[in-house]
Amino acid sequence: MPHNETVEGLGLDEYKYHFVTRDKPVFKSRKGLSEEVVRQISAHKEEPEWMLDFRLRALKIFESKPMPTWGGDLSTLDLDQIYFYIRPQDRMQRSWDEVPDEIKDTFERLGIPEAERSVLAGVGAQYESEMVYHSLREEWENQGVVFESIEDGLKMYPDLFREHFATVIPPADNKFAALNSAVWSGGSFVYIPKGAKIDIPLQAYFRVNAERMGQFERTIIIADEGSEAHYIEGCTAPQYSTESFHSGVIEIIVKRNARFRYTTIQNWSNNMYNLVTQRAMVHESATMEWLDGNLGSKLTMKYPSCFLVGEGAHGEVLSIAYATDGQHQDTGGKVVHVAPHTTSRITSKSISKGTGRSSYRGLCKVYEGAVGSRSNVECDALLLDETSRTDTYPYIEIDENEATIGHEATVSKVGEEQLFYLMSRGLAEEEAMAMVVRGFIEPIAKKLPLEFAIELNRLIELEMEGSVG
């Protein structure tokens, strides 16, 4: 960890993911959204009829729902200017050698194949609208683990797919879930068999390269009884002067006694609207953990949810948001207690800097009958400048008297005493600031695999640059 390096020493002068790849997509839809675009997507994927019907219905639902008026400012999001589908290559590959050079090069620069060799159980890589690469280590494949692109999931496991698809997040759930349901493309289909325990993470990497691109991945994960796994998604894009758009839907089913952790390290460029629906259905004695790191994007609206439907289920959301100039992170988590003796915890840490705004938005709902349930929510917000803003909007709805629910939030600025102390120990003000921020997010960073924790720290360091003086 570069604790004793100076920020300048890191040589990270700018967002390092800005590079643009010159590629030759095989298909690009017309700008904007229409029935024609939806039919083109479905045709390219050679889908069954029911999926086309599903998409067309979802398009109608999308059109009928009003834009949300809460959360972030969506008035500058112009969907008519967005490309809803860009097909980068004709088929997905299972070996990096077969991925077109310019695309492979992109992922090389992002360090994906290297990470795959050293620390990951499987990798999926999405470029624009399609997964260009998907691969799982043989030892897990032999145990019956399924880790496929969502399109292959639909083709190879039609019954399992249809049994679960859109049961956790139906199209009408919200406007952007409806949009995703109409134009989804890419994402993963994951099945962890009974009792399988994958001790190193699976990772999906999402890259948007084109200008005015809309990316709509859809992921279904089924963790069967007693299984354990960790899935990580990472996201980047180059900075354009125009807006891009990412709207994923992630559905997770965690069956009895299973444990599943889903980690997002979102570092989209600052022209990205990132509107994502992530939800898990958690069965008896199972555990679902969301680790949600939101560092990039122009506006993120994202509230990972746990529906605790089985007795003794546990849900956890760890959320970290970093909003700097021009950014709004509207993030948080939702826990819904349905069954008895379910427990949950939401921990949110946010940092606002410059004109950045971070908002915590959350829900804790306890249904009648969820006796003996416990939930605890803690939100801490750190403000670095007098121009930064933070908000906290928790919803707590309790219909069961035998439940214990607590929520606490604090807002503070970086303590001057703390800074002076660190500076008196020889740290530059910037370094001191970075250190305070690192300390603030540590409870979350330490839950990450080491490589990601370092990455997170590096990002914080980078963001701190020029934050004082």
Partner 1 sequence: MADGVTTAREAGETEAGVAGSRLAAFLETLDEPATLLERRRRAWERYTELPMPTRKSEEWRYTDLSRLDPESHVPFAPESGEEENRDAGDLPEQAARLLEGMEARSAVAVRVDGRTLHRRLDPALAERGVVFAPIRRVARERPELLAERLYTSDVSPMEEKLWSLHVAMLTGGDVLYVPDGVRVPEPVHVLRWAGEGDRLLSTHTLLVTGREAEVTWVEEYLSPDLESPLLSLSGLELFAGDGATVHYLSLQRYGRGVKHFSIQHLLAGRDTRLSGLNVNLGGDLARDDVTSHLEGPGSESEMLALWFGDGTQHFDHHTLQHHAAPHAYSDLLYKGALTDSARSVFRGLIRVDRGAQLTDAYQTNRNLLLSKHCHATTLPNLEIEADDVRCSHGATVGQVDEGMLFYLMSRGLTRLTAERLLVFGFFDEVLERVPVEGVRERLRDAIGSKIGL
Partner 2 sequence: MGEGEFHTVARLDEIPATGLKGVAVEEQKIVLVRQGDQVFALEDRCSHEEFALSDGEIVAGQIECALHGARFDPATGAPKALPAVKPVKTFECRVEGDVVQVRID
What does the binding site for partner 2 look like in residue numbers (CB under 8 A)? 57, 61, 166-174, 177, 279, 281, 307, 309, 336, 338, 367
Residue 141 interaction partner, one of partner 2, partner 1, none, beta carbon < 5-8 Å per kind: none
Using a 10 angstrom Cβ sphere, with 0-12 exposed, 13-18 middle and 19 or more buried, the burial of residue 335 is: buried
Using a 10 angstrom Cβ sphere, with 0-12 exposed, 13-18 middle and 19 or more buried, the burial of residue 195 is: middle
Please say which residue, 50 or 395, places its beta carbon nearer to partner 1. Answer: 395
Please say which residue, 166 or 427, places its beta carbon nearer to partner 2. Answer: 166
Please say which residue, 15 or 367, places its beta carbon nearer to partner 1. Answer: 367
Residue 169 interaction partner, one of partner 1, partner 2, none, beta carbon < 5-8 Å per kind: partner 2
User: To the nearest whole angstrom, how small is the minimum distance from the Cβ of residue 311 to partner 2?
Assistant: 13
User: To the nearest whole angstrom, how small is the minimum distance from the Cβ of residue 45 to partner 1?
Assistant: 37
> Dihedrals φ, ψ of 322, to 5°?
-130, 115
Please say which residue, 132 or 338, places its beta carbon nearer to partner 2. Answer: 338
User: To the nearest whole angstrom, how small is the minimum distance from the Cβ of residue 198 to partner 1?
Assistant: 38
Please say which residue, 181 or 215, places its beta carbon nearer to partner 2. Answer: 181
Secondary structure (3-state) at 286: coil
Residue 57 interaction partner, one of partner 1, partner 2, none, beta carbon < 5-8 Å per kind: partner 2
Contacts of 269 (CB under 8 A, 6+ apart): 15, 17, 18, 236, 237, 238, 239, 240, 244, 296, 297
Which residue has tokens 């080491």?
450
Angle at 321 between CA 240 and CA 80, to 5 degrees: 35
User: To the nearest whole angstrom, how small is the minimum distance from the Cβ of residue 328 to partner 1?
Assistant: 13
Residue 320 interaction partner, one of partner 1, partner 2, none, beta carbon < 5-8 Å per kind: none
Determine the Cα–Cα distance for residues 268 and 341; give it in Å rounded to an integer: 38
User: To the nearest whole angstrom, how small is the minimum distance from the Cβ of residue 178 to partner 2?
Assistant: 8
Residue 99 DSSP one-character state: S
User: To the nearest whole angstrom, how small is the minimum distance from the Cβ of residue 222 to partner 2?
Assistant: 15
Please say which residue, 115 or 177, places its beta carbon nearer to partner 2. Answer: 177
Residue 402 interaction partner, one of partner 2, partner 1, none, beta carbon < 5-8 Å per kind: partner 1
Residue 171 interaction partner, one of partner 1, partner 2, none, beta carbon < 5-8 Å per kind: partner 2
Closest CA to 99 of 17, 207, 221: 207
Residue 179 interaction partner, one of partner 1, partner 2, none, beta carbon < 5-8 Å per kind: none
Determine the Cα–Cα distance for residues 157 and 154; give it in Å rounded to an integer: 6
User: Which helix (DSSP H) or strand (DSSP E) does residue 433 occupy?
Assistant: helix 429-445
Residue 398 interaction partner, one of partner 2, partner 1, none, beta carbon < 5-8 Å per kind: partner 1
Please say which residue, 369 or 439, places its beta carbon nearer to partner 2. Answer: 369
**Rg of the Cα atoms in the chain:** 21
Q: Which two tokens stand for residue 434?
A: 């970075």
User: To the nearest whole angstrom, how small is the minimum distance from the Cβ of residue 151 to partner 2?
Assistant: 21
Residue 242 interaction partner, one of partner 2, partner 1, none, beta carbon < 5-8 Å per kind: none
Q: Which two tokens stand for residue 386?
A: 């007098």
Secondary structure (3-state) at 242: coil
Give yes or no for a contact between 132 and 125, defined as CB atoms under 8 angstroms apart: yes
User: To the nearest whole angstrom, how small is the minimum distance from the Cβ of residue 342 to partner 1?
Assistant: 15
User: To the nearest whole angstrom, how small is the minimum distance from the Cβ of residue 399 to partner 2?
Assistant: 10
Closest CA to 313 of 385, 250, 381, 367: 367
Largest separation between any pair of C-alpha atoms in the chain: 69
User: To the nearest whole angstrom, how small is the minimum distance from the Cβ of residue 386 to partner 1?
Assistant: 5
Residue 174 interaction partner, one of partner 2, partner 1, none, beta carbon < 5-8 Å per kind: partner 2
Residue 244 C-alpha from the chain's centroid: 16
Determine the Cα–Cα distance for residues 438 and 440; give it in Å rounded to an integer: 5
Binding site for partner 1 (CB under 8 A): 70, 366, 368, 381, 383-413
User: To the nearest whole angstrom, how small is the minimum distance from the Cβ of residue 379 to partner 1?
Assistant: 9
Please say which residue, 122 or 394, places its beta carbon nearer to partner 1. Answer: 394
Please say which residue, 169 or 223, places its beta carbon nearer to partner 2. Answer: 169
Residue 412 interaction partner, one of partner 2, partner 1, none, beta carbon < 5-8 Å per kind: partner 1
Please say which residue, 226 or 394, places its beta carbon nearer to partner 1. Answer: 394
Please say which residue, 49 or 97, places its beta carbon nearer to partner 2. Answer: 49
Contacts of 234 (CB under 8 A, 6+ apart): 110, 203, 204, 205, 206, 264, 265, 266, 267
281 pairs with which residues across the strands? 253, 307
244 pairs with which residues across the strands? 272
